[in-house]
Structure 1
Amino acid sequence: MSHRQVLQALSGLMLAMFCSMVSTTVVGTSLPIIVPELGGSQTSYTWVVTMTLLTTAISTPIWGKLADLVNRKNLMILALTIFILASAGAGLSQNTEMLIMFRGFQGLGGGGLAALSQVLMADILSPRERGKYMGLFAGVMAVATVGGPLLGGVLTDSVGWRWNFYVGVPLGIIAIVVLIRTLRIEQIKAAKVRIDYLGIVLLSVASGFLLVWVSNVATYGWLSWETLYMVGTAVIATGLFIVVELKVAEPLIPLTLFRNRTFTLSVLASISIGVAMFGTSVYLAQYMQISRGYGPTEAGLLTIPMAAGMLIASTVIGQLVTRTGKWKSYLVIGAVLMIAGTSLLSTLHYDTSLWLVGLYMFLLGAGTGMTMQNLVLVVQNTTSPQEVGVASSGVNFFRTVGGTTGVAVMGSVLAASMTQQLSDRAAEVGAAIAALGEKGKAIAAQLASGSLPTTRDMPESIRIIIEDASAQAISHAFLIGVPLAVLSLIAIVFLPNIPLLRQNNVERVREQRRENEFAVATAETGSIPVHVAEPEQTDGGRRK
């Protein structure tokens, strides 16, 4: 592909990614409005987010494996189509169960968009060139991260929350048109398609039971029969999944990848990044609205520092990686910033200065921007071209699993902490509610149902109590991310500092074929074939 064709194709991929990210993040500031309107509780709130992450996690390695077997362009169009239809269905939801279901289908399509966009980039760009473009992809994600919640707040306040989901439909259609017209990909591997159906089922069972248990462990209890049943099922399914992956011809997640030190350490580092990306963004929206009393639009504006940190760091660091070829020092700095940002967010109170909150979010965003895409880049750099799909999707899978588990655990901690604090202050809450008469009864019913209170509409006497309790509960939830961020730093420190290659996947495969032909011809004739020994041609300093 010419440089112009590469840029055109990348524009389509970035538009698809933007569509996915906006449609996922647009509900962040609106969920405190959506869930109570549909009759949901705090558990429903968590599952609206968790279901999307769960289906994204399960589907990501499936899309990645298919990308190594069948036409990647067609897969990208299919993923976009699923995403568009699911977005329309979510906008038509009449209850939280219906919303959770369509959010699951959104995750199914979104998993394909995330996995396939990175694999397609590897086809048309070398790892050395890919740094700055992956920085742009992270920048697009950052813009969607801040633009999504802001757009969601504006739509919720002006035309209604259902448009949070409808907005993804025209964006997705435009992305399909652009990709059909611009994307020209040479399929790297032509092989018989063998789908690991049993592996898919076992992976879904293991992930699903684990997430259901994590989301409800505060209700079940750590030593209950529900815990024994769900954790036991997840462990058994995981063990069977490993056995199946060792025996099938085309494993969903080839376990041989874990022999690659770069892949294994990148997976460990990606887990905490998932928590930082998904968990903090979800519960920062709750903090701004419940603990600070802001509306959806204002809450969206107040999350700009985190997205700004991601945008600036990912773009600048991506350019530096391409220019210098160095990447490890930037990953280490990013991991340190993640530890700092996560630790500081765990100190939030209902009256913490917004300047400090913004600084904490910026630090976390900058750390995430430095590490997220570069971890995928270094994995692609050390993986064979035939396994780039499963390797890239593998890192994304574990990052999403980390984010999914993080959201669920943080939600459980938040709910348990807030219930405990309201119980400890029951006399104070009861006195404030009693003084409000009939309005107090409505507030008491809302709190008793477990639904999310909208503090900006409450009288000051009860509002201060709820804001204080929720801020402390949310800060306790953020503590979950601190040890994971430390784990990420340790994994990154031990990553092998391997130089970035200057060939894209197609060029690497062609070179492998020439080398194989050379080896076969030499073995058959005992001499070097003339056509193989010809000097290599060059094109802009790259080997053809």
Structure 2
Amino acid sequence: MGVLQLGMLVAAFDQTALGVALPNLVADLGGVHDLVWVVGVNLLAATVSAPLWGKFGDMYGRRRALQADLLILLVGCVLAGAAQSMTQLIVFRVVQGLGSGGLVVLSLAMVSDLVPPEDRGRRQGALNAMFAIGTGLAPLAGGLLAQYASWRWIFYGTAALSALAFIGSSVALRVPAPHGVPRRGFDYIGLGLLAALSTCLLLSVSLGGPSWKAWQVIAYIVLAVMLGGLFLARERRAPYPLLPPRLFGSTVFALLAAVAFLMGAAKAAASVYLPLFLQIAMGSSPFGTGLIMVSLVVGITAGSLASGELVSRTGRYKPCLIAGTGLTSVGLVLTHLLDARSSSWTVVGTLLVFGAGFGLTAPILTLAVQNAVGYEDLGVSVSGIGYFRSLGRTLGVAVVGTVFAVRLGHNLAEEEAIRDLDIAGLRADPTLLDAYTLSIRETYLGSVGLALIAFALSWFLREIPLQPGATPPETADPLRTAPVPRTSIEEVERILSAAGNRQALRSLFSRIAETADVRLPPQACWLLITALRESPLDLRRLKQHSVVDASIIGNAVEALEARGLARASGPTLVLTGEGREVATHLTVSRRRILHDVVGTWAAEEHATVEALLERLDKALTRQDDLPPG
């Protein structure tokens, strides 16, 4: 879990460290009018690539996908740090976004590979809390670097964190690879349509403003509608859709996608323009701005941890979603009421409320959708929620920027003359200061409306209880019943995929022993069945070729000898008559459990399923998968 937390930290730094350094960046490279693109293209690239990384994780394993993600991000950060013009920086920010797009969705999806359902809420809360901590540390670090070194070191620092996370994932991260599950194709046409659709939406809202041209905006909106229709048609026909239409057949997924979009858009105003408000209206330095933003992080962290703990204790997540969206709405109202005369403690209290609401909500979006889909859709569903949340942020940044420009033009007739003034110049002129402060405050009204809509939608969520029979099958228990229909072949392939996880095997053999009414530890059950298949069993060869510590194998041998089920003679383990009887009983129990899982199948599938079950038998008794003691 430590590697996943580091991945969330990298994602937080990539998304938030640059905000407080934008004035320094503009002073160095120029191009103040391109600032919205510096932020927007990064978010857009991350948004579009999120489903791609989720699908790659399903196809090739989430660990490999995470490592590729980190490498691309590292390259993008190094290039962005070396950029010599605003155009170069925008291009390299696209590379950064392509790399960072999968960090959050892959980390959250891997929780389902490593953690049983009853602990998933707590673990996902911890990951979201780490992201919140990174969101607070990043502005502090970015402010320090911008104030005392250079904005370029923000990118180099993120690159260093990416390298550290890559090394950690190579050394310490053990996620079961999709053994036995075929590598299916990918809907690249769908991805292209989705990218074009998202770009048109971004352009349509970015071109609004005091000098907007109606025909351009309308053209992009019409094009976006056409691309949306083509994307839906493509996804219905595609053999391996990017966002399977069946996901939207689930009211849970559809509602959570809408809430994710609205919350992402609502948060954009606070995340982008709140630092600007602190520096313009309150005269805070870049580092001082980051320091005040820590209160937002404290609120998000507390909310995330509380959300995970409440779900783990009660098994319910809908109350957290309702409370979170409600608190977010209240926090945005309080943010709108801030002005230049507000005290620092008032700002801190406001950010605590807003952060707590967002923190309560964030883990629930992922948890609830994971609880409503099947194992084969875990990655794509989580990345789908991530896509809508990121799309909300991307469009939210553009919309807020447009609203700010419109309101500034309304509040200050001489806007054209002051576009390039620095913060010191703004604060020296009370008229300019009041106009900017009022315009920033007015941007929050739209965010309040979005949060209130999310709050209303939360009441309509159909809550599915978090219980073993209703949650997605986990590697912690590879035979847990799935909540959605599957063919027998798909079910056995899923079990084969989970069989590579020793934690899953421990759970499996505990269940086999319980079903057979045999009082033996799981590692002893494994050894007993293995000895029946390979009698007599060469213990020396077993210890040499097993990844499990020899002492654990020794403990299993002692347990069998103590029960009179086996006898060790030198390096050989021989089963007694009673041992053969118990081992046979365990084997029958295991086979019965497997048949219960796959249920009935069509006659034409019978031979294939039997062959897969035979593969599963071998996979569950291979020498490198002894359940740990």
TM-score by length of 2: 0.75
1:215 aligns with 2:198: no
Alpha-carbon separation, structure 1, partners of 2:202 and 2:134: 26
Match of 1:303 in 2: 293
Alpha-carbon separation, structure 2, partners of 1:361 and 1:213: 31
How far 1:79 sits from its partner (Å)?
0.1
Match of 1:137 in 2: 127
1:440-455 equivalent positions in 2, closer than 5 A: 448=417, 450-451=419-420, 453-455=421-423
Contact kept in structure 1, 2:426 and 2:433, CA below 8 Å: no
1:268-417 equivalent positions in 2, closer than 5 A: 268-417=258-407
Which protein, 1 or 2, shows the higher relative CO under an 8 Å CA cutoff with sep ≥ 6? Answer: 1
Match of 2:530 in 1: none
Alpha-carbon separation, structure 1, partners of 2:4 and 2:347: 33
Match of 2:623 in 1: none
Q: Which piece of structure 1 moves more, 479-488 or 393-402?
A: 479-488
Match of 2:220 in 1: 230
How far 1:383 sits from its partner (Å)?
0.6
Alpha-carbon separation, structure 1, partners of 2:72 and 2:232: 29
Q: Give the one of 458, 464, 469 matched to 2:435.
A: 469
The Cα offsets for residues 224-247 of structure 1, whole Å up to 9 and x where unpaired, read as 221222111111111100000000
The Cα offsets for residues 197-227 of structure 1, whole Å up to 9 and x where unpaired, read as 11111111110011012111115647x2212
1:490 aligns with 2:459: no
Alpha-carbon separation, structure 1, partners of 2:598 and 2:338: 63
Alpha-carbon separation, structure 1, partners of 2:388 and 2:50: 10
1:151 aligns with 2:141: yes
- Gaps spanning 5+ residues in structure 2: where? 481-490, 493-593, 615-629
Match of 1:200 in 2: 191
The Cα offsets for residues 85-136 of structure 1, whole Å up to 9 and x where unpaired, read as 1111111112222112212211111111112111111111233211111111
Letter in 2 for 1:364: F
Alpha-carbon separation, structure 1, partners of 2:16 and 2:427: 31
Contact kept in structure 1, 2:426 and 2:432, CA below 8 Å: no
1:519 aligns with 2:600: yes
1:407-446 equivalent positions in 2, closer than 5 A: 407-423=397-413, 426=414
Letter in 1 for 2:425: M
Note closer, same or farther for the CA distance 1:217–1:181 as it changes in structure 2 (3 Å cut). same
Letter in 1 for 2:23: P
Note closer, same or farther for the CA distance 1:277–1:138 as it changes in structure 2 (3 Å cut). farther
Match of 1:173 in 2: 163
Q: Give the one of 53, 69, 73 matched to 1:79.
A: 69
How far 1:255 sits from its partner (Å)?
1.3
Aligned length: 493
Alpha-carbon separation, structure 2, partners of 1:277 and 1:409: 12
Contact kept in structure 1, 2:331 and 2:350, CA below 8 Å: yes
Contact kept in structure 2, 1:279 and 1:403, CA below 8 Å: no
Match of 1:458 in 2: 425
Alpha-carbon separation, structure 2, partners of 1:329 and 1:343: 21
Alpha-carbon separation, structure 1, partners of 2:280 and 2:25: 14
How far 1:357 sits from its partner (Å)?
2.0
1:40-79 equivalent positions in 2, closer than 5 A: 40-41=31-32, 43-79=33-69
Contact kept in structure 1, 2:116 and 2:477, CA below 8 Å: no
Greater CA radius of gyration, 1 or 2? 2
Alpha-carbon separation, structure 2, partners of 1:459 and 1:213: 30
Letter in 2 for 1:365: G
How far 1:510 sits from its partner (Å)?
3.8
1:13 aligns with 2:94: no
Give the secondary structure class of the aligned counterpart of 1:520.
coil
Give the secondary structure class of the aligned counterpart of 2:381.
helix
Contact kept in structure 1, 2:14 and 2:100, CA below 8 Å: no
Match of 1:107 in 2: 97
Contact kept in structure 1, 2:328 and 2:353, CA below 8 Å: yes
Alpha-carbon separation, structure 2, partners of 1:291 and 1:449: 16
Contact kept in structure 2, 1:348 and 1:471, CA below 8 Å: no
Match of 1:98 in 2: 88
Note closer, same or farther for the CA distance 1:524–1:20 as it changes in structure 2 (3 Å cut). closer
Match of 1:258 in 2: 248
Contact kept in structure 1, 2:268 and 2:400, CA below 8 Å: no
Contact kept in structure 2, 1:276 and 1:368, CA below 8 Å: no
Give the secondary structure class of the aligned counterpart of 1:217.
coil
Letter in 1 for 2:117: P
Alpha-carbon separation, structure 1, partners of 2:605 and 2:295: 64
Alpha-carbon separation, structure 1, partners of 2:448 and 2:223: 29
Alpha-carbon separation, structure 1, partners of 2:158 and 2:369: 31
Alpha-carbon separation, structure 2, partners of 1:278 and 1:208: 18
Give the secondary structure class of the aligned counterpart of 1:69.
helix
The Cα offsets for residues 339-371 of structure 1, whole Å up to 9 and x where unpaired, read as 101122122322223222222211111000000
Note closer, same or farther for the CA distance 1:499–1:517 as it changes in structure 2 (3 Å cut). closer
The Cα offsets for residues 299-348 of structure 1, whole Å up to 9 and x where unpaired, read as 11111221110011111221221122122112111111011011221223
Contact kept in structure 2, 1:414 and 1:474, CA below 8 Å: yes
Alpha-carbon separation, structure 1, partners of 2:148 and 2:173: 37
Q: Give the one of 232, 238, 250 matched to 1:242.
A: 232
Contact kept in structure 2, 1:271 and 1:484, CA below 8 Å: no
Alpha-carbon separation, structure 2, partners of 1:449 and 1:160: 26
Match of 1:542 in 2: none
How far 1:487 sits from its partner (Å)?
1.4
Note closer, same or farther for the CA distance 1:32–1:132 as it changes in structure 2 (3 Å cut). same
Alpha-carbon separation, structure 1, partners of 2:82 and 2:294: 29
Note closer, same or farther for the CA distance 1:509–1:211 as it changes in structure 2 (3 Å cut). farther
How far 1:59 sits from its partner (Å)?
0.5
Contact kept in structure 2, 1:55 and 1:104, CA below 8 Å: yes
The Cα offsets for residues 401-447 of structure 1, whole Å up to 9 and x where unpaired, read as 01111110001111221232221xx5xx9xxxxxxxxxxxxxxxxx6
Note closer, same or farther for the CA distance 1:35–1:127 as it changes in structure 2 (3 Å cut). farther
Note closer, same or farther for the CA distance 1:500–1:465 as it changes in structure 2 (3 Å cut). same
Alpha-carbon separation, structure 2, partners of 1:30 and 1:177: 29
Contact kept in structure 1, 2:280 and 2:426, CA below 8 Å: no
Alpha-carbon separation, structure 2, partners of 1:53 and 1:152: 18
Give the secondary structure class of the aligned counterpart of 1:86.
helix
Q: Give the one of 459, 467, 474 matched to 1:505.
A: 474
Contact kept in structure 1, 2:307 and 2:364, CA below 8 Å: no
- Gaps spanning 5+ residues in structure 1: where? 1-9, 430-446, 533-544
> Taking every aligned residue pair, what percent have the same amino acid on both sides?
32
Alpha-carbon separation, structure 2, partners of 1:501 and 1:522: 33
Letter in 1 for 2:126: L
Match of 2:523 in 1: none
Alpha-carbon separation, structure 1, partners of 2:229 and 2:211: 24
TM-score by length of 1: 0.86
Letter in 2 for 1:454: D
How far 1:461 sits from its partner (Å)?
4.6
Alpha-carbon separation, structure 2, partners of 1:268 and 1:520: 38
